[in-house]
Amino acid sequence: MTSISNVSCFNEARRVAIFGGTHGNEMSGITLVNLWIKNGKEIQRKGVETKPFITNPRAVEKCTRYVDTDLNRAFTTENLSAPSGDDLPYEVKRAQQINEIFGPKGSPDAYDVIFDLHNTTSNMGCTLILESSKDHFNLQMMHYIKKAIAPDSCPVLLTEHPLLKYSTSRSVAKHPIGLEVGPQPQGVLRSNIFESMRVVLKHALDFIELFNEGLEFPPCSVDVFRVWDKMDYPRDTNGNIIAMVHPNLQDCDWEPLNPGDPMFQMFDGTTVRYEGVGTVYPTFINEAAYYEKQQAFVTTRRETLVAGAIKKA
């Protein structure tokens, strides 16, 4: 990236990948990617090589989130540089293969953009996931998508956090973008969720084509929800869950949670209230896949990011 007269110049996005099946029971991305592998006309754009790719085929075959370990947390420096061998977890081996095909991560040879398609059991709607507040290319793309699908909502979740490291499969690319669409049960397809994901991908690819053709995008602002903290369920001394997400909070992703608001309902009916400082905006509320991660929901703080003007170099 270079900057000329307050306009950031990026190289054309010529190599784009669309990942489905990073989690093998999230069916919208798996189904779309398999459709596009058979016939990719819908995702092709002038001058762009768009590659649909099933990231975790063994998990997809079993319709399970993963086989040995979470692929979407496996792209650490340690894993990617680990000596190959039969004792490595399947997903670590797969991460190394993906890094070889689409990376290497952090190198000039890495793919320009990776879209990683996910489903959630939470009531998050269509959520774009941004990994860096300084990625003005992605901010501009997300601004374009949000305008294109308006008045429908498309929140942006910013996962940039000094203590929470995700090491996602999409992080191999120069510009990683996650798409989380729900609510949808694991192992299930819902037509509205499927179509919402498809529409967002269409607009994202349209943006890339317009950028590559030389369209300059003026400065813009993007409202985001920055990851703040992870909240676990109340547990007993043996680590067993002893409460549920409170009915006032259930399905209220992106809505304000204020100090004193109900947060959990104990099995005896008593209420546990939020005691944090200031208003937060929960998401991934009661996500089925996060029980094993000891996470009831994520809190976020709202902020506005400013993206500078961009054009192709």
The catalytic residue positions are 180
Angle at 98 (CA atoms; ends 94, 210), nearest 5 degrees: 150
Q: Is 111 annotated as a binding residue?
A: no
Q: Is 73 annotated as a binding residue?
A: yes
Q: Is 23 annotated as a binding residue?
A: yes
Q: Is 274 annotated as a binding residue?
A: no
Q: Is 166 annotated as a binding residue?
A: yes
- The DSSP output letter for 290 is G
Are 256 and 279 spatial neighbours (Cβ–Cβ below 8 Å)?
yes
Q: Is 28 annotated as a binding residue?
A: no
Identify the helix (H) or strand (E) that includes residue 177: strand 175-182
Q: Is 160 annotated as a binding residue?
A: no
Are 172 and 75 spatial neighbours (Cβ–Cβ below 8 Å)?
yes
Strand 49-54, strand 113-119: pairing = unpaired
Buried b (16+ CB within 10 A) or exposed e, 141-150: bbbbbbebbe
**What is the residue-wise DSSP string for 128-170?**
EEES-TT-HHHHHHHHHHHHHHTTS---EEE---SS-----GG
Q: Is 143 annotated as a binding residue?
A: no
Q: Is 25 annotated as a binding residue?
A: no
For the chain, give the number of residues: 313
Q: Is 65 annotated as a binding residue?
A: yes
What is the spatial order of strands in the sheet that 309-312 belongs to?
Answer: 2-4, 7-10, 309-312
Record the tokens describing residue 210, joined without a space.
């317009």
Q: Which of 205, 72, 225, 249 is nearest to 154 (CA)?
A: 225
Buried b (16+ CB within 10 A) or exposed e, 167-198: bbbbbbbbbbbbbbbbbbebeeebeebbebbb
Q: Is 180 annotated as a binding residue?
A: yes
* Binding site listing for N-acetyl-L-aspartate: 65, 180, 290
Q: Which residues are annotated as a binding site?
A: 23, 26, 65, 72-73, 118, 166-170, 180, 290
Annotated binding site for Zn(2+): 23, 26, 118
Q: Which residues are annotated as part of the binding site for substrate? A: 72-73, 166-170
